[in-house]
Amino acid sequence: MSTLAIALGAFVLYFVAYHTYGKWLGQKLFRLNPDANVPSLEFEDGVDFVPSDKKVLFGHHFTSIAGTGPIVGPAVAVIWGWVPALIWVLFGSILIGAVHDFGALVVSLRNKGQTVGDIAGRVITKRTRILFLTILFLALTIVLAIFGLVIAAVFKMYPQSIFPCLIQIPLAIMIGLLIHRKGINILIPSLLVLALMMLSVQYGNESLLGDFNRYLASWEILDWCAALLAYCVIASILPVWTLLQPRDYINSLQLLFTLGLVVIGLVVAAVIGGVPVSGEERQPLEIVAPAFNWSPEGAPAIFPFLFITIACGAISGFHCLVSSGTSSKQLKCETDAQFIGYGSMLTEGFLAVLVILACVAGLGLGTTVGAEFFVGESAYQARYHSWGAASGLAAKIGAFVDGSANFLKALGLSADFAVALMGVFVASFAATTLDTACRLQRYVVQELAASLSRPKSKTNPLRLLTNRYGATLFAVIVAYLIARMPEAPGGVPGKGGLILWPLFGAINQLLAGLAFLVITFWLRRRGLPFAFTIIPGILMLVLPAIAMSVNLRNFAEAGNWLLFVFGFATILIEIWMIAEALSVWKKSKGILEDSALAPASDTDGGRSC
């Protein structure tokens, strides 16, 4: 029953946090105003700035920030014990991650929908803007180069998930047209689409569709990378309401519905046990992993790498890009920011809790590793006996899928349906991150190009990157060129993203620290309290710096000078940005930034919510 108590306790904790700390942040710190003008209304263009229903926007925001992060990270981190992982997820998401996401969203709302990198140049120094945008570009390039590989790997592991993921595209376009053009109430279409997606999971691997899935699963990784990046070009250029937003929304319906089934299955398994193994009595649901494991075989030190490994489930710098890149341009009422920014992160934290429970308890109900079937503690040990056994993508995803599928099977669902549903769950999250990342990279490229272009020059080639077509193509071509490289000489093309992937964890968490820096300066310039952002901000500047320093030593010892140079440059940029911040800290108190770019919410003309 301890598993059930943890799940229910986490839910109650998140519910209370949203209605206390989250509400306080919105009312007292950020002072959300239902009558404030917002960028989606002030700059409505039908492409990027689109006022949206908060339920639809929640779907886009939640699925975009989540990706595979809250699955992969916790699924690895439990190797250090389930207690440290659970504590970091619970308190990290409430006190750090949700504040970061909420703050980035509000600051962007008050700065005409600009990204947090763009805002850095106004609230700190102009040089900070270029430095921040450079780190953003590197991080998003890694995401675009690697996620094609991730999705292809998931499709190869679970071919039955391919058709259900692809059918989401026409369904999304239909939903987008019905809501945006026809103004139809969202409830009935949502229920219909959810039913169709569940049917695609149930029957999407039968007969010809099964052959279709197996054919696409046989594609080479590079083919998948090219196809997915081509889709990203379309999703990034089209108006946000036609594909990106509605696809994320219907994904969120399916994903939240699946999470609900997993929770119900966990309750059933906790009360009466899991599905009987080989005709025996029901297997009791219990935690089969150690509470603490300070020195797993081959694993790096728990400090600081626990806080780098678990990113999206507790705090992730990528989230500030979604908050300030896409969501701030779609929010139609300022007071919705708590629901979108703070609420989405708490939902993701709860997902991470379920992932932990699936890997340390659900897995004990039975898992197959190789050709051998394990139950109980041996099931956990089969997946987590060493860092090497737990760190591969297949091992990470497999532990979660098997554990959560065991919860679903306790409900009486078939093993095939349960595994297919969880495969779609993982692949859909990865896909929403990929297309959102492409749109975000387009914004970053446009902002960088605008900064580096000579305003009066008509021949500067960088001017081509200031429009959405040129910026999108540039972003995708760079990512594809990296992806098509083999990970090692003579290796398989399409795995080039893995070359830079070891840098991503520390860079991603560093982004969170830098975003906190921007939020803190924004608060300080307005005479608002900033202890709630500067303390977690310092933590998220120090932890990634320590992790990157350890990685630099490892890169040097391994002779991997490419990663060493990129990692060292990242550390220098962090130091430079902190130095820039310190240089203007004293004189920034109570001094507003350039009034020529006054925040939209400081003006009248908004619509009451």
CB atoms within 10 A of CB 187: 9
Mean pLDDT within 198-209? 91
Cis peptide before 455 (omega within 30 of 0): no
Helices 221-237 + 415-452 axis angle, to 10: 60
- pLDDT band of residue 1 (cuts 50, 70, 90) is low
The pLDDT of residue 25: 97
Residue 331 confidence class, pLDDT cut points 50, 70, 90? very high
| pLDDT tens per residue, range 148-179 | 888 988 999 999 999 999 999 999 999 988 88
How many other CB atoms sit within 10 Å of the CB of residue 198?
A: 18
Rounded CA-CA distance 431/438 in Å is: 11
- Please name which of 496, 480, 478 lies closest in space to residue 488, comparing C-alpha atoms: 496
Paired strand residues for 374: 367
Torsion of Cα atoms, 458 then 463 then 467 then 469, to 10°: 110
Region 450-459 average pLDDT: 68
Q: Grade residue 596 by pLDDT with cuts at 50, 70 and 90.
A: very low
Phi, psi of 388 (to 5 degrees): -65, -35
Considering 125-129, 321-325, 389-393, 396-400, the range whose residues carry the highest mean pLDDT is 321-325
The tally of CA atoms less than 13 A away on the side-chain side of residue 332 is 13
CA dist 377 and 267 (Å) reads 20
Task: Supply 266's token pair.
Answer: 């966990």
pLDDT digits (tens, 9 = 90+) for 226-248: 999 999 999 999 999 998 889 99
As a whole number of angstroms, the distance between CA 329 and CA 570 comes to: 29
Question: Which whole number is the average pLDDT over 438-460?
Answer: 80
pLDDT of residue 124: 93
The share of the chain scoring above pLDDT 70, in percent, equals: 96
More confident residue, 12 or 397: 12
The proportion of the chain whose per-residue pLDDT surpasses 90, expressed as a percent, equals 70
- pLDDT of residue 603 exceeding 50, the answer is no
- State the average pLDDT over residues 452-478: 81
5-14 mean pLDDT: 97
Mean pLDDT over 476-481 rounds to: 94
* Residue-averaged pLDDT of the chain: 90
pLDDT of amino acid 455 = 59
pLDDT digits (tens, 9 = 90+) for 515-572: 999 999 999 999 999 999 999 999 999 999 999 999 999 999 999 999 999 999 999 9
The one-character DSSP state at 97 is I
pLDDT of residue 458 exceeding 70, the answer is no
Enter the tokens of residue 288: 């089969």
Q: Are 496 and 145 in contact (CB under 8 A)?
A: yes
pLDDT, one tens digit per residue, over 394-418 is: 778 889 999 999 999 999 999 999 9
Overall size of the chain counted in residues:
609
Residue 289 vs residues 153, 340, 379: alpha-carbon distances, Å: 27, 34, 9
Q: Closest by alpha carbon to 43, among 123, 105, 111?
A: 111
At 457, the pLDDT band (50, 70, 90 cuts) reads low
pLDDT of residue 496: 87
Report the alpha-carbon angle 331-336-341, nearest 5. 85
Architecture of domain 2-590: Up-down Bundle (1.20)
Instruction: Give the pLDDT confidence score for residue 459 in this predicted structure.
Output: 63
The strand pairing partners of 367, in sequence order, are 374
Supply the pLDDT for residue 279: 67
* Residue 6 or 499, more confident: 6
pLDDT band at 601 (very low <50, low <70, confident <90, very high): very low
| CA 159, chain centre distance (Å) | 23
> Is 12's pLDDT higher than 90?
yes
Cα–Cα dist 298/320, whole Å? 33
Q: pLDDT by residue (tens digit) across 50-91?
A: 999 999 999 999 999 988 888 999 999 999 999 999 999 999
pLDDT for position 65? 92
Decide which of 262 and 595 is more confident.
262
* Overall average pLDDT of the 175-196 stretch: 85
Per-residue pLDDT, 453: 72
What global pTM score does this model have? 0.93
Q: How many Å apart are CA 101 and CA 317, to the nearest integer? A: 9
